[in-house]
Amino acid sequence: MLLSRLQKPAGLSVTLCLYLLALPANVLAESSENTQQTQSSREILLAELAEDESVQDVEQSEPLQGSRTSGKKTTPEIKSIQPEAAPTPNKVAPDIDLKEVAPAPAPEPPAEPGSDKIPDSTATEAPPEEAAPEPEKAEPASDLILLGNEVLPGTSTRLAWSPGIQIAGLSQPTPVLVVNGANTGPTLCLTSTIHGDELNGIEIIRQTLYDLDPAKLSGSVIGIPIVNLSGFQQGSRYLPDRRDLNRYFPGNPNGSLAGRIAHSLFTNIIQHCDMLVDIHTGSLKRTNLPQLRADMNNPAVAEFTRGFDRMAVVHSSGSPGMLRTAATDAGIRAVTMEAGESLRVQEHQIDAGVNSLASLMEKQDMVSRMFVWGNPEPVYYDSTWVRADHGGILFSDVKLGAKVSRGQVLGYVADPITNAQHPIHASSDGRIIGMAVDQVVMAGFAAYHIGTEAKIPGE
C-alpha cells in the first residue's frame, strides 16, 4: 500500500509541497514540547505552541495512586468559592426558546465592566411552553443569577459575556446559553472552543442545550459554545496575542490578555458551576476517540466520570493553568472531553458527545431519558503515546479505535528522498484512542495514543 503511494512521484511531490508549507508550525510545536509552563511568573512573548492536552498532559500526569487516602490532593469542598456579587440590580432575562431561530445579537454598547446587558430579545417571544413545573418532582428551583441577569426557574435564555479587554466600541460579546430548570438541582457548565480551531464542541453544546426542556430539568445548564471568539473567527487555536488561553486559568485581573480573559470567565461564570465539562478536540493534526481526561486521583472527579456512557476515560492529573485544573482546585467536579480533530465538524464525534452528556445529566438526576439501551458505562484506560523515531511522511495502517497488539506495525514514516521506510510498532496491547493524521513528522512526534483498559483506582 505504501509502495504504491511512493510510486506516484507527481502526486507525491504535490502532496509533499503542501506538507512542507505546513511544516514550520509543526516543527515549532514539537520543539517547544519540553518547555515547562510556568504561567504565573514568566511573560512569554513568543507563541506558546506546546503540545496539547492530548500529549503533554497525559504524559506528565502523576501516576494513579493505589490508595485514595494517601493522595496528595485532597477532595476540595464543593462550592467553596462565592461568586463575586453583581454590583448592580439584576434584570430578569427574557425567556427564549433556544430552538427558535434567533436574531443576531445587538452590538454591545460601551459599558462599565460588570454592568448589565440583555441581548436583543425583540423577536424572541417564545411560545409560552407549559410553564407549570412538574408536580411530582421535588422543590421548585430558585432564580439563577448570572452576568447581571436573573434567569427565572423553568426558562431558558441567551446571555452575553464580555471579558472587557477589547476596544469598547468594537466589543463583541460572547454568547452564553442558559437553561434554568423548574426544579432544584446542580449546575452543569459546558465550555467549548477555548482553542478557537476546535469545532465539534460547539455543536455538542448547541444540541445539548437546545434539547433541554426547562420545565422538566432539575438544576441548570450553562453552555458557552465558543469561549475564544477571536480565535474562532480566525481559525486559530490561540488568542490574538498568540497565547494558549487554556494555560492561564483561573486567571489574573491585572495580568496578560489571556490572564484577564481567564479571570473574567472564571469569576463571572465558572464559579457558578457544580460540574464542568470542557470540550476540546485533538490539535496539531491529531484526532481523538471521544474521551474524557480526568484526574482519577480526585475521588469526586473519579465518581463524576461514571456518569458518562460509552466514553473512554484516561487519567490525567492536569497541568497548571488548564480550566479543568483550576475548576477542580475550586471544588468543581471537572473533566475535559476530547472529541475528534480540530477544524472539522464530525457527526459521529458530536453524537457521541451529546449522548454522553445526556447520560451524565440523567445520572445526576437532572433529566430523565426516554430511551436507554442496556446499561452502558465508561471504559477506563491507562495510556501511552508512541512516538516516531524518524522524520518523514507518516502513513498509518491502523484506524482510530482499532484494537492493536504489542509489536504490531501501526504505520510507517517514509523518507521521501531516500525511500527509507521506518515502521512504528505498538508498544503494548490496547486500543488506538488517539492518533496523528497522515502528515510530515519529525523524530519524536507523538503519533499514536494507545489505551489499555484499566480498573478504576481504588476498586
CA dist 266 → 103, 263, 434 (Å)? 28, 5, 29
- Confirm if 93 and 150 have CB atoms less than 8 A apart: yes
- Cα torsion 270, 273, 275, 281: sign: negative
Residue 453 has a CB neighbour count (10 Å cut-off) of 12
Query: Can you tell me the distance from the alpha carbon of 219 to that of 222, in angstroms, rounded to the nearest whole number?
Result: 10
Residue 150 vs 198, nearer CB to Zn ion? 198
E strand segments, 329-391: 333-340, 379-387
Q: How many residues does the chain have?
A: 459
Residue 280 vs 333, nearer CB to Zn ion? 280
Residue 280 vs 390, nearer CB to Zn ion? 280
- Confirm if 439 and 414 have CB atoms less than 8 A apart: no
Residue 57 vs 134, nearer CB to Zn ion? 57
Query: Can you tell me the distance from the alpha carbon of 162 to that of 101, in angstroms, rounded to the nearest whole number?
Result: 23
CB of 338 vs Zn ion, minimal distance in Å: 8
Written as one string, the DSSP assignment of 265-329 is HHHHTGGG-SEEEEEE---SSEEEEEEEEE-TTSHHHHHHHTTSTT-EEEE----TT-HHHHHHH
CB of 431 vs Zn ion, minimal distance in Å: 22
| Amino acid (1-letter code) at residue 113 | P
Residue 133 vs 353, nearer CB to Zn ion? 353
Q: Which residues here bind Zn ion, judged by CB under 5 A?
A: 195, 198, 280
Residue 49 vs 160, nearer CB to Zn ion? 49
CB of 341 vs Zn ion, minimal distance in Å: 11
Report which residue's Cβ sits closest to Zn ion.
Answer: 280
CB of 224 vs Zn ion, minimal distance in Å: 14
Those residues with Cβ within 8 angstroms of residue 323's Cβ, 6 or more apart along the chain or in another chain? 191, 194, 246, 249, 262, 266, 270, 276, 278, 334
CB of 292 vs Zn ion, minimal distance in Å: 14
* Per-residue burial over 181-196, b = 16 or more CB atoms within 10 Å of its CB, e = otherwise: bbbebbbbbbbbbbbb
Residue 214 vs 353, nearer CB to Zn ion? 353
- Confirm if 314 and 451 have CB atoms less than 8 A apart: yes
Residue 117 vs 195, nearer CB to Zn ion? 195
CB of 45 vs Zn ion, minimal distance in Å: 22
Q: Helix, strand, or coil here: 116? A: coil
CB of 195 vs Zn ion, minimal distance in Å: 4
CB of 366 vs Zn ion, minimal distance in Å: 26
Residue 150 vs 197, nearer CB to Zn ion? 197
- Confirm if 339 and 200 have CB atoms less than 8 A apart: yes
Q: Helix, strand, or coil here: 85? A: coil
Residue showing cell 513528522? 441
Query: Can you tell me the distance from the alpha carbon of 175 to that of 59, in angstroms, rounded to the nearest whole number?
Result: 34
Residue 157 vs 191, nearer CB to Zn ion? 191
CB of 350 vs Zn ion, minimal distance in Å: 16
CB of 230 vs Zn ion, minimal distance in Å: 15
